[in-house]
Amino acid sequence: MSLQSLAASSRPLAETFLDQLRNGAGFSRLAGELPAVEDDESQLPDEDRDHARRRTKSRPPSPDAAASAILLGRAFENSRDILAKLTAPDMVAIIQVADPDLVKPIRSMLRMLLASDATLIDGDDLADRFRSSPATSSVVVFTDSGKSKVTTQDDEAVAAAMRLRCAVIGIARPGDRLPRALLRIAEHRIVVPPIDADVVAGVIEAVTGNRPASIDESTSRRIGVNDLAIAVREDLSAERSLARLQRLVEIPIDAGPRLSELSGLGQAKVYCMQVAETMREYLAGTRPWHQCPRGLLLSGPPGTGKTSLARALCRELSGNVSFIATSYAAWQAHKTGHLGDVTAAIRETFFEAARRKPCIIYLDECNSIPARGGRDHDAWWTAIVNTVLEMIDGFEQTEGVFLIASCNDPARLDPALVRAGRLDHHIEIGLPDMPGLVGIFRTHLGSDCAGADLREAALAARGRTGADVEKWVRIAREAARKDKRALTVKDLVDAVRDGEPDWPDDLRWRVAYHESGHAIAHMALGIGMPKSLSIDGNGGYAETSAAKPQVPTRAHLEDLLATILAGRAAEQLKFAETTTGSGGPSARSDLARATNLALRMETSYGFGCLGLVTLAEDDLNDGYLLMTEPLRSATNETLKRAYAKTLALLERNRRSLDALAQALFSAGYLDRGEIDAIVARHPLESAFVASVLPRTSASSIQDGDATVSDPAIR
């Protein structure tokens, strides 16, 4: 039947193409190689034996052929005019497929449909087969050649087809490389829809002769053309073929916690729970894929749970989503590691995700791929980055593929990788806080230490990662196993401290007053509200969330200076002397931060002895500037004023300071609720307290939390 007759058919094109396929007995390469033999019905179950007896002697189409006929028919249903002109000499079109394994079956289906109208020619063979115009109408088909990059020879093949007045068709999956000239000149793009439940039912009916009762839509989304070819057989019943298909695409659930069971991940967990909810809605058919998030970049120190988060997100979806973990190192190890092998491995990762969709791709340590424009091996890295970008862009229209990338240093990434539409949502996972550490201990302990207070172990673990916690739980279990007894919190604490002794009381008192001084100053001056106070083997911590945004006047900056110096002032007030805890060589020490801010007030903000003269950040060298006597004196005067203000403030609120320090010394950790309760019993003498409004969660996501961490007092 000619293309014009097919296009003019009153029946759905999917049915018409299937009829054409039945007349041609399909085109499965495997079916063509197997000899025709009689089925041994005695070896079949009763249901399948009865089914086999009802089959006619004519062999049905292969499952891959039936799938391509139905899908291609659907694709052309609303473009029948293009189908009718598919062999016209001026036709240039691209047929886009979602399943990478559909390229060859679609090409074979085209060859059969064009059989009475034209000859199908492979673009790579064009130069060898024809030196002049072919005698009959011809259609030249281009597919991805598998080369690492498109060359001018590919465009020359398109030019040759044009000179021979042949119709030109490209068949491509997302990320495939067709000749550039073909992509630019193509006037028509035919999109082959993804496989759905109705397509699966149609394939089973075409092969077995019967339609299955019902097919789950979420299951059908995971089915690829190769799955159909493996599971569906003409000598099996429709229901048994469907059952085989369901077992084949079932997603195994690996052991481990679900996302909802993880702790210490902050906003990353919140966002990924939202991703899980949108994925559930997509799987249920209530949310279109274009309204779902597509990519996420996670950054943070090693061991903070980036990989665990990605795997737990997959488990949260209860086996409905596949998971592919990869890295640049895995791509580099592909075959010989030549550039073409590496780019092929990158492309295959995304193609595999398309086969197993819905799917989460997890790209670990993505900062192993540096930004383009560097000096060392830039041509290599440019090719790698371009391939990754091509695949991400190519999959924008592919449903069900979500990309998570993780790194330690996002500054190294190519800017194009994190622009809108790619990895455009970035969340930094920091070291877990106290509640997070308690939750991580609880997750890894399972049923051990049930009901026990784990805060002592979490305190000892402050400043460490979830990976460290997992290690310490293993060590503690081994110690308890050797003694043939149950695991205790003391085992955990001993594992964390690894033989380090407890701090003496006099040192703990110093730390308690130091951190309480920071907290009182923040609340009294309206700079922020303490989230927690703690003492552990590494020092003291005062975590503070910023208050409502304030105008950065000189008065406000001096208040900020006062909060930074409040730890030292509290020591001075209680013990009549200070320790080295506020200083030290670290740029994050209290005195270093205060000096830096005071110096900026003098040199950069127009608030000091230089008047309006301002030095840009690149022009500042703190050590050199402080060698200048007038500037050093002015900076010191600013610090002295702020310190005197802090001493007076803490003296007015001595009862609150003593109560907070006593509680912190006794407990080792105070959360926001406990701090509020103490301040409620011992109100602060300041009009600013009522105006301190913690930021909402939404604001915290945008602006971040202000955190003050003090070094250890030794």
Question: What residue type is assigned to position 498 of the chain?
Answer: D
Domains 3-191 and 434-497 belong to one CATH topology: no
User: Which carries the bigger pLDDT value, residue 232 or residue 49?
Assistant: 232
pLDDT digits (tens, 9 = 90+) for 561-600: 999 999 999 999 999 999 888 887 788 899 999 998 998 8
User: According to the model, what pLDDT value does residue 219 have?
Assistant: 85
pLDDT digits (tens, 9 = 90+) for 312-342: 999 999 778 999 999 999 999 998 989 989 9
Is there a contact between 55 and 206 (Cβ–Cβ < 8 Å)?
no
pTM for this model (two decimals): 0.76
Residue 67 has which token pair?
A: 């799938």
Classify domain 434-497 at the CATH topology level: Helicase, Ruva Protein; domain 3 (1.10.8)
pLDDT at 205 over 90: yes
CATH class for domain 259-428?
alpha beta
User: According to the model, what pLDDT value does residue 49 have?
Assistant: 52
pLDDT digits (tens, 9 = 90+) for 149-194: 666 677 888 888 888 889 999 998 877 788 889 989 999 999 999 8
Orientation of helix 489-497 relative to helix 466-482, angle to 10°: 120
Pairing status of strand 92-96 against strand 167-172? parallel
Domain layout of the chain by residue ranges: 3-191, 259-428, 434-497, 505-709
Q: How far apart are CA 595 and CA 137, in angstroms?
A: 83
User: According to the model, what pLDDT value does residue 290 have?
Assistant: 87
CATH number of 3-191: 3.40.50
pLDDT band with cut points at 50, 70 and 90 for residue 618: low
User: According to the model, what pLDDT value does residue 116 have?
Assistant: 84
Cα angle vertex 179, ends 174, 182, to 5°?
90
Q: Determine if residue 285 is left, alpha or beta; phi over 0 gives left, psi from -120 to 50 gives alpha, anything else beta.
A: left
User: According to the model, what pLDDT value does residue 38 have?
Assistant: 43
pLDDT digits (tens, 9 = 90+) for 272-299: 999 999 999 998 889 998 899 989 999 9
pLDDT digits (tens, 9 = 90+) for 675-708: 999 999 999 986 444 333 333 322 222 233 333 3
Q: Calculate what percentage of the chain has a pLDDT beyond 90.
A: 58
User: According to the model, what pLDDT value does residue 148 have?
Assistant: 59
pLDDT digits (tens, 9 = 90+) for 99-153: 888 999 999 999 999 988 888 888 877 765 555 566 568 899 998 876 656 666 7
pLDDT at 633 over 50: yes
Q: Which residues contact 669 (CB under 8 A, 6 or more apart)?
A: 434, 455, 458, 459, 532, 533, 534, 535
The answer to which of 100-104, 345-349, 359-363, 616-620 has the lowest mean pLDDT is 616-620
User: According to the model, what pLDDT value does residue 133 have?
Assistant: 60
Q: How far apart are the first and last CA of the chain?
A: 90
pLDDT digits (tens, 9 = 90+) for 34-64: 444 444 445 555 555 555 544 444 678 999 9
pLDDT at 606 over 60: yes
CATH class for domain 505-709?
mainly alpha
User: According to the model, what pLDDT value does residue 217 have?
Assistant: 83
User: According to the model, what pLDDT value does residue 686 have?
Assistant: 64
Is there a contact between 492 and 525 (Cβ–Cβ < 8 Å)?
no
